[in-house]
Amino acid sequence: MKNLTRYYPTVLLLLLLGCGSGSNFNLISVEEEWQLGNQIAADVERQVHLNNDPAVNDYVRTMGQRIVAQTPMANMPWTFQVIDDPEINAFSIPGGHVYVNTGLIANADTASELAGVMAHEISHVVARHGTEQLSRQYGVSVLAGLVLGKDPGQLQQVAAAIVANGAMARFSREDEREADELGIKFMYDANYDPRGMAEMFRVLLAHQKSDPGRVEAFFATHPTTEERVRDAQKRAEQLGTRAAAITDEPQYQSIRGRVS
Ligand code: ZN
């Protein structure tokens, strides 16, 4: 990290003010958050098995970028990675790092179902839920130390917790709702069929009954209820489906074949 000293005044001021308890409080600037995200991502990526099939990664990256292009953070350096893991899960960490398990691709029946989950994860980043969560979970001084790069041990612990939980952490219901609301709008604007989001939730709920082990991490971090599915369905109906919207596409089925 360069120019560390220029961050001190902000951090100190916030330490003096103490941490707020509102849902939108955030201790660090977007710039600091994206720097911190790079460090956490490097640690996370040492602890997972990244998929190295270029066709699969290209597809996921292209879909991610199409969705990101509809967000206020379109010009930030996002990364999209595929993890070799049969669990049906995806997660994101602060600073625009989005991870999709091969198990999610294998079980999302259509491109728009995958787009629904990716748009949700992208929205956690756009709304900065990750650093809010870290602030709550680890406290102001730990987060400040992480931002300043003072505590590599703590950083590794944060990364290990993310890998162990298959996500940043348990987001609040409010955060989940916000990520669903933003996400469906972004996927719609990116020309994906917005009904894909509710359909993916239904796939997940079906797996919870038939094969709960595969969706454990997803449900631990994304409480999914019938109400959530109904809300997503209602939003999709309100948006409508464009005539040219992508529900599914052959390229998606082709990469699905590569990870199944
Ligand atoms: Zn979520």
pLDDT digits (tens, 9 = 90+) for 55-69: 999 999 999 999 999
Do the domain assignments include residue 180?
A: yes
Q: Give me ligand 1 centre to Cα 129, in Å.
A: 9
State the pLDDT confidence band at 25, using cuts at 50, 70 and 90. low
Q: Give me ligand 1 centre to Cα 125, in Å.
A: 10
Do the domain assignments include residue 4?
A: no
Say whether pLDDT at 179 is over 80: yes
Do the domain assignments include residue 108?
A: yes
Q: Give me ligand 1 centre to Cα 119, in Å.
A: 10
**CA triple 126-129-132, angle to 5 deg:** 130
Given the structure tokens 């870290």, which residue do they identify? 134
Do the domain assignments include residue 15?
A: no
Domain count for the chain, please give it. Answer: 1
User: Angle, nearest 10°, between helix axes 8-17 and 140-147?
Assistant: 180
Helix, strand, coil % over all residues of the chain, rounded to 5: 65, 5, 30
Say whether pLDDT at 13 is over 80: no
Do the domain assignments include residue 8?
A: no
Do the domain assignments include residue 51?
A: yes
Whether pTM > 0.95 for this model: the answer is no
**CA triple 75-138-95, angle to 5 deg:** 10
In whole numbers, what is the pLDDT of the chain averaged over residues? 87
Selected residue with higher pLDDT from 208 and 150: 208
Q: Give me ligand 1 centre to Cα 222, in Å.
A: 5
Q: Give me ligand 1 centre to Cα 15, in Å.
A: 28
**CA triple 188-191-194, angle to 5 deg:** 40
Q: Containing domain of residue 161, as a range?
A: 22-259
Do the domain assignments include residue 216?
A: yes
Q: Give me ligand 1 centre to Cα 79, in Å.
A: 18
Percent of the chain with pLDDT over 70: 90
Do the domain assignments include residue 7?
A: no
